[in-house]
Chain A
Amino acid sequence: MRDALTGLGVSPGRTAGPAFRMAAPPTLPDTVPAVADVEAEKTLATKALTQVSSVLEELAARVDGEAAEVLATEAMMAADKTLADAVAAAVAGGRPAPWAIADAIGAQQETFTQLGGYFAERAADLADIRDRAVAHLLDEPMPGLPVPGRPYVLTADDLSPADTALLDPNSVLAIVTRRGGPTSHTAILARARGLPAVVGCAGILDVEDGAAVSVDGTTGEVTEIDESEVDGVREAAARERERLAALTGPGRTADGHAVPLVLNVGGVADVVADAEGVGLFRTEFLFLGRTSAPSVAEQERAYAELFGALGGRKVVVRTLDAGADKPLPFLGLAAEENPALGVRGLRVARAHPEVLAEQLEAIARAANATAADVWVMAPMVATTAEAEEFAAAVRTAGLPVAGAMIEVPAAALRANKLLEVVDFVSIGTNDLSQYTLAADRMNGDLADLLDPWQPAVLELVASCADAGRSTHKPVGVCGEAAGDPLLALVLVGMGVTSLSMSAPSVPAVRAMLAAHTLAECEHLARLALDAPDAVAARQAVAAATNG
């Protein structure tokens, strides 16, 4: 075995196979050749665009739903008359076909970017058309997913939404990217599809195409191995999956201390049959892409659909988590210099109290119509006063259980006071890491700082858990940290009372908990808290659990 390339494990599971890189977009040569025959050059350019359009149409035919829609629209753009006219004009002005296409697309991108919002997002589709057309004309490899003809580990700088839409889970074994953090598009997609994934893996693009690698999406370890070792790793991983799948039932430690393992969901499709409940129901899906708020009746229907699927189980609903970083047109929020520090989460209710009031009314109606045990919590609470005001609004709506998310260090430091005014807290480790380490969640270069094993973050979690113990109120964790089996032990050892994660993470966490007593978890929590840094904390806990 050669050196391990370490990144951040963002989707659990272990596998091995040949690595193949996402082809990089082609670059135009520095010297621009002269155009000898303008008409012939125009034909070349038109043919390239037509070719791109038909390839995109074929790709669209291979997928369904939203992805098909996106690709069909992109195919339409590639074959567009307006674009063809602009390209022809550029050729007539002396630009060779590849340059003419790049110029025309650049101008169109600028128009879209100026329109902003959803229109600006189409600039990325245009870039894809340009890259494909230029690659075709320069006879360079087509950018996009590799097609090695056998299952492979996909490596890339980062993945675009179009790439992820086309990704075939039958041929991709795992994903490793150089950039990206725990909440990147890659991470979210990989978890949803149950593919092991590592992001922020600095050396991954130095691995030769076809070289065998093993990938551990739990520890973040990526290792170049000998081809003869591949089958062994996969077989061991398959046995491990079988062992995990054989374990069922509620989450509990080896000595029977119950720790409900609940799900992070965006809708009823994410609920699995044997789930103990839902620890984080994200309600944004109802509001995205809307120019007016969804009506109370529409919201009630959507909430009741999820609640109904849960029977009498618990569901924690997070009220709308929008802001300048996740803009919603109907809120009319101004663009901000620092959206992460701006009007987001519960703060939106300062300007739009009616949106929160209507949402709570819809949740209350859906709760009354179903048997689910409905709890409600607010995102981005910073002060006790905010938590108190929110809890009052929840109770006014007729809902019995109100909580606050702990994502802001100010709230974590005052968890004991918060728990005097709310019934529970739930710690969102992704945002808590971002705000504690002052590191942008979207910045892949800072992935090490966003590691939930950072002792400063763990210390805040521990103090929240202490506050829960002294007030006898639940303290859950609903960030992706809860889905890391080793970290789950640490959280339970600190006194966290429930862990909420995406469904594919549950079996490994359940098995890990079942193999350790509460006293062992408490010991591991002390090891993690005493470690000098995130890497050492993980190593110390890993070493102690293997021993």
Chain B
Amino acid sequence: MPSRDVVVGSRVGLHGRPAKTVVGVAAAQPVAVRISTAGKPAVDASSILAVLSLGAKGGDTVTVEADGDGAEAALGAMVEILAQDLDAEPADA
């Protein structure tokens, strides 16, 4: 199955706004996308609870995988969104 590794660009890790954004992109893909961190089984990338349960921190490497028609394009979209810092606005006091 095609897969790609990517370093999580959001400094806060995959929770809050970054998790929500990543899940939204995964859900918009025509194929099922799965995501995993080192040592953990892959989970459904379009499930917010599954993605939060990875506990992925900024700088962690995650693996995304997908199969079938459009899998490569889907993985490209996932890598692009995961590599960004999705929480660049300063946190409120």
- A interface vs B, CB < 8 Å? 65-66, 69, 72-73, 76-77, 80-83, 108, 111-112, 115, 118-119, 122, 266-267, 282, 284-286, 288-292, 302, 329
Contacts and interface: CB of A to CB of B under 8 A. Distances in A.
A291 B58 contact: yes
A76 B20 contact: yes
A454 B18 CA distance: 46
Contacts of A72: 20
B56 to A, nearest CB: 10
Contact of B49 (A77, A288, A289): A77
A119 B52 contact: yes
B91 A289 contact: yes
B53 interface: yes
Nearest to B54: A115
Contacts, number: 73
Given A76-B23, A81-B46, A115 B16 contact: no
Given A73-B20, A81-B44, A285-B91, A118 B12 contact: yes
A73 B17 CA distance: 8
A346 B55 CA distance: 30
Given A284-B93, A285-B92, A285-B93, A69 B48 contact: no
Given A289-B87, A291-B11, A291-B12, A69 B17 contact: yes
Interface string B3-26: 000000001110111011001000
B49 A292 contact: no
Given A69-B16, A291-B58, A108 B90 contact: no
B59 interface: yes
Q: Which of A81, A83, A108, A286 has the most CB of B within 10 A?
A: A81
Nearest to B57: A291
Contact of A286 (B20, B46, B52, B90): B90
Given A118-B13, A119-B15, A82 B90 contact: no
Contact of B16 (A80, A112, A118): A118
Q: Which of B19, B43, B49, B59 has the most CB of A within 10 A?
A: B49
Contact of A77 (B17, B48, B90): B48
